[in-house]
Structure 1
Amino acid sequence: MNNYFFFLFLFFISSFTYSSGMRLDIHDKHVVMDNGIVEVTISNPEGFVTEIRYNGIDNLLELLNKESNRGYFDMVWDEGKSKRKKGEFDRMEATNMSVIVENEEQVELSFTRMWNSSLQGLYPPLNIDKRFVMVSGSSGFYTYAIYEHLDEWPGFNLSNTRIAFKLRKDKFHYMVVAGDRQRFMPLPDDREEGRGQVLAYPEAVLLVNPIEPQFKGEVDDKYQYSCESRNNEVHGWISMDPPKSTGFWIITPSNEFRSGGPLKQYLASHVGPTSLSVFHSTHYSGVDLIMRFRPNEAWKKVYGPIFIYLNSLSNGESPTGLWDDARQQMVNEIESWPYKFPASEDFVKAEQRGQVEGRLLVRDRYMSDAFIPVSSASVGLASPGEPGSWQRESKGYQFWTITDDKGYFSITNILPGKYNVYSWVKGYIGDYKYDKVINITSGSEVNVGEIVYEALREGATLWEIGIPDRSAAEFYVPDPNPKYINRIYVNHTDRYRQYGLWERYADLYPKEDLVYNVGTSDYTKDWFFAQVNRKKGNKTYQATTWQINFNLENVNANGTYKLRVALASVHYAELQIRVKNSSEANPPLFTSGVIGSENTIARHGIHGFYWLFNVDIKGTLLAQGNNSIFFSQPNNSSPFQGILYDYIRLEAPPHHTNFTPKLNILPN
């Protein structure tokens, strides 16, 4: 009898449920968090999410996968010595589990892996703390991670890090990455040999014999579903199995911890069914965004929290209503940021953060002497650096907003630290930087007053091509080859996400290259969105030279004209510029050298890094009447080497020689 009561007592303790419905069970191999709505099982001590129970489904995660391949953090790293294209893949397996918080309202678990010199070469020199949080009454759970590199440790490189969830392929068939980017998706089996044909790279597969015939002839490629960081707030999958439809969503309430600023593109959800929250990656940016840690460099960063949100609807209701509900939940999470519940002291709470406000004005003195307030200009704080350096910044935090219709901005919840204020404005080339370093301390409020960006210019505009907006979207994007269609992007604003558009250049210009005539050509129809190589055979490519023709009524032979060339992306390409009557003159007037490793063309992007070149053209190189400028890209070893232009402008010589673009600071 005594043994009976003893074991009954142990059972009662091991499955103790708080009045609020919170329960924590700790077993030898697993830990279970349950708030009465969602039950999450995590491997102990590795920290892999192995089961998510919700809405009567025993596990939303793929049962056919190993436990380490269902819900997990991972990273790609190397010791900084190897020249291999890809580094080591680390699934960040923890070695210790501890309970941080356990009460009626919340459970928070920590899974850690601590580094020491005996692990050198086996794992990246980082202390890793993966946290999982469940809150009473919440339809989901939160997760975040803390990475730390101590000052006595060796250096290394970190290329990518994220959290991934692999859902059940027998249930989740409908994917949503945006309101206008949602669809039924193929199965992962459709990508396998015999059903799918690999195209120019492994990620792109032509579905030749899919299980569901409706997908036959489509291309599946995870990069077609990438999102800019500023728009990558909620995405996921819907299961329409009766009796209730079920939604699985990843909500990212802040992008302060992501690398590369608000324009950086990240993977979201894709065939698997897979959903990701990517914290740092080199996609659409390349080697410039690798996090390179020096020996003895101290660093710590908190990634997240993000929210894994689950919802459901009764059978018969439109399942896309789950998307509407998920978007509303996203708004709720954003309004709750920074969260109060994370127990780690490394996650800085609202009262410990600061604020910066001010007003941004722009003056373009060859357009007007007025200081113009600009709406929807992007203004942000990032680590101190040069103008535009924020897009290559990866170790710190960034905080961005947009100006209102009078140019005012307010950036809140800024972590303590030193920052520069940066901005760019649609319609104006170049980057703005407020030269004073802003020091944010706990509770500080900084007003920078009215700051003016003197637009980059030395003379009046003679002609221009495109819109200065850091994107090539306004240029001509061709229809895809009918053999390589993704139906979601037919008649879509993001038509550039179709596979194989780089090959369409050779179809449109089989022998001669693009010629643009200022005054008669239309850049929306006559300027191909990317200067790529012309395909001449299965594996042979021809370099291309584009020509701009224009007329000058008068020429100042003693003056210097300025050619502004803004690029939206470059991939292992070289921009050579020549003027006058020769497209082959050597040396060229200007060369960028080989730059960029962004792979934007292959990954269906319309922008990567922003590049700006300012080229002096002496008046003696120009003639009254007809003139030509030649843009050559000579590297032709790959179909993906090329240039996406943002905007091109030719300026007349300045009216006065002492004009120099500068930054003006108005008094507060």
Structure 2
Amino acid sequence: MALARTASHGIIFVAILTNFACSDDLRPAAGAAGVTVHVGLEYVVLDNGIVQLTLSKPEGSITGVKYHGVDNVMEVKEEDGGGYWDIVWNPSNRDSGIFDIILGTEFDVVQQDANQVEVSFRTQWNPSHGGKLVPLNIDKRFVMLRGSSGFYTYAIYEHLQGWPEFNLGETRVAFKLRKDRFHYMAIADNRQRIMPMPEDREAGRSQKLGYSEAVRLTNPINAALRGEVDDKYQYSSENKDSLVHGWISSDPSVGFWVITPSNEFKSGGPVKQDLTSHVGPTCLATFVSSHYAGDDILPRIRNGEYWKKVFGPVFIYLNSASTKSDLKLLWEDAKKQARVEEGSWPYKFPASKDFQKSEQRGSVSGRLLVVDETANKDYVNGNAAFVGLASPGEAGSWQKESKGYQFWVRADAKGMFFIQNVRTGVYKLYAWVPGFIGDYKSSVNITITSRNHINLGNLVYRPPRDGPTLWEIGIPDRSAAEFFVPDPYPYYINRLYVNHPDRFRQYGLWERYTDLYPDHDLMYTVGISDYKKDWFYAHVTRKHGQASYQASTWQIKFRLNSVHRKGTYKLRLALASAVLSELQVRFNNPTAQPADFTTGLIGRDNSIARHGIHGLYWLFSIDVDSSWLLEGDNVIFLTQTRSETPFQGVMYDYIRLEAPA
């Protein structure tokens, strides 16, 4: 461990010796003797002189983390310890999920020397378990390195051919910290604050709101939080933004951080959202979940299927400061350490042969160009495109994929991309480009082998287009953030998100629609209205009375000086989210039966209730018969027909009407 004390602040920063060398004046002050492991009858203790990790044996739950004079930073409960791996699953013939904490039944020290200790807690399935245990072999690993201010954990899940079918609803690692010490939470530079206590969510101190995760604090222990809403989904993040998050104790000044150096083992791609840290105080590393996507994303493991996947490693990092005034510096240090971990991926130390090291992996490079036919026949650089490798499927299938691994990068301004450290296997190359609708998919499968680099050269994406743009609403970026997000009810405020770029994370915004449109639904006039001010961020139900809701119909008014009677127009309708909705489209006749187009029942991403501003992306290309259109004034009627709850609706990404080619 290297200790560096600054003259002005006195903060202690911890450097991992395996990642970079120390100068002569920064020699390790602790942990010089290396890593030790003590195996007792009921506990296993890993210690490197900086952090001491205690695990139950053979279960493998975290019962203690000793650091910087704090005997245990974990809030230990007898049934699960302070930290644990868990899983939600169900047999294929059962709808409801089964929640299990993953407890090992066998223990081994798989590697031990002065520089590294790795321990394994395994559970193996057999037919005698019947439907009581998830049909998986699970091997949980914990790793401690010399000089490292923390520890790593990862797991290997394996389903053998012939074993029962099941659906995997969620799996993650959860850490419950001491509530008497950890009160300050940080998940981004502009998303950190003093948090409520867990007791504040209980009866007598809070009011339950429209769904179970959200409460209004009526009598919190910290009176400064009175009147605020607490909801763990207000702190969700996209995979690409979840490199580090955690909590800070003010006395002593200690930080506890979950660092996820790669998203290759997470489900749903770079913009899939999930929980991070929340009241508890709780830290999560979530690998598979239906959050902001629905059940379509969940792995369905079938009887004849062999499946194996490595989740992690993730790094649990602890740091400390000399005074309470240094709390923000702990966050800055955690970000620096996260970049170190990210730069060290794939790690060299995991002992499992199932975790591929750098020399076992391959890479892919190329350049993505865009040709938006009719609008512009010139090649355009795929500037800032999301480019990734995922399991073979249809265009856009990556956002519902979770059995395999995914590898994503952002292209540069010229559309150049380089995807390195890809596990061996067969993939498709997928991409989407901000500013253009639709998804790119490579025409052939891409086979990655060890130490091999594939240069794909120039790739051309031709986004869907039949004719020139007559008008458009929004920005094709798979988010509704550019539309009008109302001010929250003062009664339901979260002060963190006042005057914040993520103003959509306030509770109850969906009900502001009825307030803003009390007598009629939204009407938007092309060429006059401004979507930043006049297009509500979500097409939701209208509140009727105290407990019922009605379908709502939005109108887009536009003018055509002439109509091409021999051609077919095209309406491009891109959705950023859908929640148990059916969107019907009618041209110039609001009562036409059947509707000119319907999506049918779509979506379970629940992004409206969970403040997500987007869920799964949907693109509908609608043929518009010229007989539906009028010379002069026209109206498109958009009706979201499902209205059982206030949370049903869609979020629009982008709408465009094209003339015939």
Classify the TM-score, shorter chain.
over 0.9
CA distance in 2, matches of 1:375, 1:309: 35
Equivalent residues, number: 632
What is aligned with 2:449?
441
The answer on whether the counterparts of 2:31 and 2:147 sit within 8 Å (CA) in structure 1 is: no
After superposition, residues 360-399 of structure 1 pair within 5 angstroms as 360-399=368-407
CA distance in structure 2 between the aligned counterparts of 1:542 and 1:488, rounded to whole angstroms: 32
After TM superposition, the structure 1 = structure 2 runs for residues 490-569 of structure 1, keeping only pairs within 5 Å, are: 490-569=498-577
Matched, 1:132 2:142: yes
> For 1:328, which of 320, 325, 336 is the aligned residue?
336
Do the aligned residues in 1 keep the contact of 2:172 with 2:288 (CA within 8 Å)?
yes
Note if contact 2:75-2:82 (Cα within 8 Å) is conserved in structure 1. Answer: yes
Task: Say whether the 8 Å CA contact 1:32–1:39 is kept in structure 2.
Answer: yes
From 190, 193, 196, the counterpart of 1:180: 190
Determine the structure 2 residue equivalent to 1:48. 61
The SS at the match of 1:521 is: coil
In the alignment, structure 1 residue 268 sits paired with structure 2 residue 276: yes
Q: Which residue of 1 aligns with 2:46?
A: 33
| Residue 165 of structure 2 corresponds to residue 155 of structure 1 | yes
Q: State the shift of 1:438 in Å.
A: 0.3
SS in structure 1 of the partner of residue 321 of structure 2: strand
Q: Alignment RMSD, CA only?
A: 1.0
Which of 36, 52, 58 does residue 23 from structure 1 map onto?
Answer: 36
Aligned residue among 455, 463, 471 for 2:471: 463
Matched residue of 1:381: which SS? Answer: strand
Q: Deviations over 1:530-561 (max 9, x none)?
A: 00001112220011000000001111111100
What amino acid sits opposite 1:481 in the alignment?
A: Y
CA separation of 1:353 and 1:557: change in aligned 2, threshold 3 A: same
Quick one: which amino acid aligns to residue 405 of structure 1?
Answer: A
Residue aligned with 1:93, SS: coil
Question: What's the secondary structure of 1:562's corresponding residue?
Answer: strand
**Residue 104 of structure 1, aligned match among 109, 114, 125:** 114
| Equivalent residue in structure 2 for 1:585, among 588, 592, 596 | 592
- Letter of the 1:158 partner, please give it: L
Offset of 1:647 from its aligned partner? Answer: 0.2
Distance across 1 between alignment mates of 2:251 and 2:464: 57
Classify the secondary structure of the residue corresponding to 1:426.
Answer: coil
Q: Is the 8 A contact 2:375 2:467 kept in 1?
A: no
TM-score, structure 2 normalization: 0.95
Say if 1:558 and 1:618, in contact at 8 Å, map to a contact too.
Answer: no
Deviation string, structure 1 residues 621-664 (Cα, Å, up to 9, x no partner): 1111100000001111111110000000000001xxxxxxxxxx
Q: SS in structure 2 opposite 1:328?
A: helix
Do structure 1's residue 58 and structure 2's residue 71 form an aligned pair? yes
Structure 1 residue 367: Cα displacement: 2.4
Q: Which amino acid aligns with 1:457?
A: R
Instruction: Report deviation, 1:19.
Output: 5.8
CA contact (8 A) 1:75 1:92 kept: yes
Which amino acid counterpart does residue 630 of structure 1 have in structure 2?
F
Contact kept in structure 2, 1:558 and 1:620, CA below 8 Å = no
Matching of residues 82-481 of structure 1 within 5 Å: 82-84=94-96, 87-242=97-252, 245-481=253-489
Letter in 1 for 2:139: D
Matches of 1:76 and 1:478, distance apart in 2: 36
- Per-residue deviation, 1:52: 0.2
Q: 1:455 and 1:158 mapped to 2: Cα distance?
A: 34
Q: For residue 91 of structure 2, what is the aligned residue in structure 1?
A: 79
Report deviation, 1:83.
Answer: 2.7
Q: Secondary structure at the match of 2:172?
A: strand
1:150/1:298 contact within 8 Å kept: yes
Counterpart Cα distance in 2 of 1:115 and 1:298: 14
User: Equivalents in 2 of 1:649, 1:367: separation in Å?
Assistant: 12
Q: Provide TM-score, normalisation by structure 1.
A: 0.94
Q: 1:316: Cα distance to partner?
A: 4.8
Letter of the structure 1 residue corresponding to residue 92 of structure 2: G
Q: Matched residue of 1:314: which SS?
A: coil
Separation in 2, partners of 1:374, 1:391: 20
Are 2:606 and 1:594 equivalent residues in the alignment? no
1:96-154 alpha-carbon deviations (Å, 9 max, x no partner)? 11000110100000000000001121111000000000000000000000000001211
Asked if the contact 1:469–1:646 (Cα under 8 Å) also holds between the matched residues in 2, the reply is: yes
Partner of 1:169: helix, strand, or coil? coil
Distance 2:144 2:277 in 1: 23
Q: CA deviation at 1:67?
A: 5.3
Q: Which moved more, 1:615-624 or 1:49-58?
A: 615-624
Partner-residue secondary structure (3-state), 2:378: coil
Task: Indicate if the aligned counterparts of 2:32 and 2:146 stay in contact, CA closer than 8 A.
Answer: no
Q: Once the 2 structures are TM-superposed, how far is the Cα of residue 427 of structure 1 from its aligned partner?
A: 0.6
SS of the aligned residue for 1:107 comes to strand
Query: 1:280, 1:537 → 2: CA distance?
Result: 39
**Hey, what's the Cα distance between the residues in 1 that align with 2:149 and 2:108?**
24
Three-state SS of the structure 2 residue aligned to 1:360 is strand
The runs of at least 4 consecutive aligned structure 1 residues that moved more than 3 Å come to none
**Alpha-carbon distance in structure 1 between the residues aligned to 2:386 and 2:549:** 39
In structure 2, distance between residues paired with 1:73 and 1:361: 43
Deviates further, 327-336 or 534-543: 534-543
Structure 2 Cα separation of the partners of residues 644 and 122 of structure 1: 40
Return the alpha-carbon distance in structure 2 between the equivalents of residues 573 and 367 of structure 1.
Answer: 32
Distance 1:490 1:343 in 2: 47
Residue segments in structure 1 that go unaligned for 5+ positions in a row: 1-16, 655-668
Q: CA deviation at 1:370?
A: 1.3
Corresponding residue for residue 24 of structure 2: none
Task: Answer whether contact 1:50 1:67 (CA < 8 A) is retained.
Answer: no
8 Å contact 2:574–2:654 — kept in the other structure? yes
| d(CA) in 1 for partners of 2:390, 2:34 | 42
Report the residue type matching 1:98 in the other structure: D
CA contact (8 A) 2:31 2:49 kept: no
Matched residue of 1:329: which SS? helix
Please, which runs of 5 or more residues in structure 2 have no aligned partner?
Answer: 1-29
Cα deviation, residue 20, structure 1: 2.5
Over the matched positions of the two proteins, sequence identity in percent amounts to: 59
Go from structure 1 to structure 2 and tell me whether the alpha carbon gap of 1:163 and 1:193 turns closer, same or farther (over 3 Å shift).
same
Shift of residue 69, structure 1, vs aligned partner: 4.0
* Inter-partner Cα distance in structure 1 for 2:74 and 2:529: 54
Name the CA distance, whole Å, in 2 between partners of 1:537 and 1:312. Answer: 54
Whole-Å separation in 1 of the counterparts to 2:237 and 2:31: 40
CA distance in 1, matches of 2:377, 2:650: 35
What letter is aligned with 1:610?
Answer: Y
Paired letter, 1:644 = M
1:279 Cα deviation after fit: 0.4
Alignment partner, residue 659 of structure 1: none
What is the CA distance between 1:80 and its match in structure 2? 1.1
Measured in 1, the distance between the counterparts of 2:375 and 2:219 equals 59
